[in-house]
Amino acid sequence: MKKTKIIATLGPSSFNLKILSELVINGMDVARINMSHYDRKIDLKKYIKHIRQEAQKLNRAVGILFDLCGPKIRVDHLTSESIKIKEGTSYSLGGKDSDIPLNINISFKEHDSKGLVKIDDGSISFDVIEIDNTKLIIRAKNSGEIITGKGVNFPGVKLDLPALTLKDKEDLKLAIDLDADWIAMSFVRSAEDYTTIRTELVNYSSDIPIIAKIEKPEAIDNLNTIINSFDGILVARGDLGVEMPIHKLPILQKKIVNECLQKRKPVIIATQILDTMIHNPNPTRAEVNDIANAIYDGADAMMLSGETTIGDYPVESVKMMADVAISIDKDLDLRNFNRYIKQRKRDNIDTRSSICHAAMILSNDLEINNIVIMTETGLTAMKMARYRPKANIFALCTIKKIFAKLSMIWGITPILVEPYSTTDQMIQNTGTLLKEYGNFSFGDQFIITAGVAAGKSGSTNMLKIHEVD
């Protein structure tokens, strides 16, 4: 059973009902809608409905993640298909009349004449040689090609940009209307950004959980408070690797993952996961090792981007990701068990945490392969996942939103059930229900946690070893 979750970004290669079905079948846990490249002519409602229907056929939860653009600076509409950049040649960058126009008006008065400009995730770099308030003169350090929409970065420069743009607010409303399960906020710089977007959601009476994308130096400076404030974290290695020295990226990734584990927040690793598979049916060994290391470090999910948006092998990419994840997940054993025993000392100890901790120990000591959690809010299931037990975690949910939310959390298999009137009824029916998932047979034991006040949120206070009858 796959424990590490797979997020697949939808795009031209995957906006197809047959392809979407195959993505679900082959292991996609969350479908990401990247609003930076979303064409409003696309009938998102149709595709999201199809994903959910296909997931329901397989008794699986597949979540929907809307990824907001944020104040991303991009190359604006060019007069031709592309600009051929020649090493050593100078270009103007800025307003609509520039050689390289930008989609956002920027004041360059804070820029350093010794600074750099990077375009297309750093594939083309420029030296700044002249500064105007609204325009830069830049000299190419290497040759390449620039097309409309490519990202532009100014490493080391703090730009005065809003946390949410007007487009973000419009996209946020669309996400709410289409019943998104998660929202990703781009270019988060501080914990205050959470308040900004949460306030916007409250205006629509929405409580969608929010993921902070870490891709700016300011976010690294404020990492602890950002992790504390947001509902999850995404390590956006593309922009982060451009904004920061690239040799620091592995260290930063491990640091972010570790901090998220300590604070019990889900963490996603993104960008160039299986980049080779955009145009090749097989990954490199380096890519497979990269995935394995992220899983060993404790990542909840890995996110595919170009592989499933514009790639030639979207389904094969998801299947390869699933194969690697399953292989590594099986090897996650005592090393993680011991790590989380030590981690517990840093937790805020409460009844729910203690029960989850006890369930993990029992499952390992007695070699019980399955832990069942009855959850109203998903919190007990998420706490259980933080301990990374070897056993499978089944979360019985009575609320569809919680069911979908848990699709992103490591190790959890959410199951949508009808509310139980009593705890005894729940325990009695659980064995029968779980036989459908193929992991249970007559006489098998499983660990179950629940609240003795059945149906009451936050009441987890029971742990029992039960036998399938």
- The pLDDT, as a whole number, for residue 396 is 92
> pLDDT over 70 for what percent of the chain?
93
User: What is the rounded (10 degree) CA torsion for 277, 278, 279, 284?
Assistant: -30
Question: Mind listing the pLDDT tens digit for each residue in 401-418?
Answer: 999 999 999 999 999 988
- The pLDDT, as a whole number, for residue 278 is 97
Predicted TM-score (pTM) of this structure: 0.90
Cβ atoms within 10 Å, residue 96? 9
Tokens of 307: 């592989």
Kindly provide the b/e burial profile for residues 314-338, where b requires at least 16 CB atoms within 10 angstroms of the residue's own CB: bbbbbbbbbebbeebbeebeeebbe
- The pLDDT, as a whole number, for residue 453 is 58
User: How far apart (Å, rounded) are the C-alpha atoms in residues 274 and 308?
Assistant: 10
Low-confidence ranges of the chain (pLDDT < 50): 334
Q: Please say whether the beta carbons of 292 and 326 come within 8 A.
A: no
18: β partners: none
- The pLDDT, as a whole number, for residue 225 is 97
Q: What HEC string does 42-55 produce?
A: CCHHHHHHHHHHHH
- Distance (Å) of CA 406 to CA 105, 178, 300: 40, 18, 11
- The pLDDT, as a whole number, for residue 376 is 86
Q: What are phi and psi of 413, to 5 degrees?
A: -105, 105
Question: Mind listing the pLDDT tens digit for each residue in 76-132?
Answer: 989 888 999 999 999 999 988 899 999 888 888 767 667 889 998 889 999 999 888
- Show the domains of the chain with their CATH numbers: 5-70+163-330 (3.20.20.60), 82-153 (2.40.33.10), 335-467 (3.40.1380.20)
- The pLDDT, as a whole number, for residue 202 is 95
- The pLDDT, as a whole number, for residue 95 is 87
User: How far apart (Å, rounded) are the C-alpha atoms in residues 63 and 170?
Assistant: 21
Q: What HEC string does 334-371 produce?
A: HHHHHHHHHHHHHCCCCHHHHHHHHHHHHHHHCCCCEE
**β-strands 392-397, 370-375 pairing:** parallel
